[in-house]
Structure 1
């Protein structure tokens, strides 16, 4: 299993709208990502369970890298309220053409009264020719910026 994360404190993503807002948005309102992340997230359909509850399954429509419409079926695997962390596992979809497993963790950390978002990707490549998912970290950074901009405009 490989793991990549944004760990350099100078590169953490400061979330000016507040860590609570980030955590609540991704936990309870992922279906609103298409409004906040125009061109990146196209849809989020609840397939099973309830938004914000462990075990809920959603299918995201999105564009990554080349802008081509792709999809991913994901399950909310874990929630840590104290750490404001969400763990999502990809079950099916385009990304699974390259990886045996692909797990995404988004966590809010507060340092010196500033909320930062850290994204961690844990994955297992199908074979050694598959690239490490660096472009996915960039994608999630862009999503974070879009969500913050959306939230600051709205409130």
Structure 2
């Protein structure tokens, strides 16, 4: 239903090391234009600095074969190895009243996992749930792992 908060969650085993993933995501996201050029075309720092809470990043990316833009305020929690991206502009806000994308790294039984959570609210009940966005992050995480193992 429109107007009700909703949530999607996916967990991906990450053999290349959660610390490496977190460092890239938090401190060097511009690197993804080289690692995943089919997914990320640009990552532009618009305010603050990479890896700091309150900074603003604008991404150019491809979702379902279409170029799109996302502008986000970033919140970094080093202790939890977590970054939260609150959507403040871009194409997804045409479908969702608000959207917050979070990942965190956790270790279970000696294996690192990247957990992606998308909290969102549909503007219109007919709009699709952002399953394509969640799948994008799953594929993105696997591409990063493959790149590190290269």
C-alpha distance in 2 between matches for 1:23 and 1:51: 12
Q: Say whether 1:88 aligns with 2:62.
A: no
After TM superposition, what 4+ stretches of structure 1 lie above 6 angstroms from structure 2?
none
Per the alignment, residue 9 of structure 1 pairs with none
Q: What is the Cα-based RMSD across aligned positions, in Å?
A: 0.9
Higher strand proportion, which one?
2
1:101-116 equivalence runs, <5 A:
101-116=98-113
Q: Which has the higher contact order (CA 8 A, sep 6+)?
A: 2
Give the number of equivalent residue pairs: 146
1:6-155 equivalence runs, <5 A:
6=10, 12-65=11-64, 67-76=65-74, 78-153=75-150
TM-score if structure 1 supplies the norm length? 0.91
List gaps (5 residues or longer) in structure 2.
none
TM-score if structure 2 supplies the norm length? 0.94
List gaps (5 residues or longer) in structure 1.
7-11
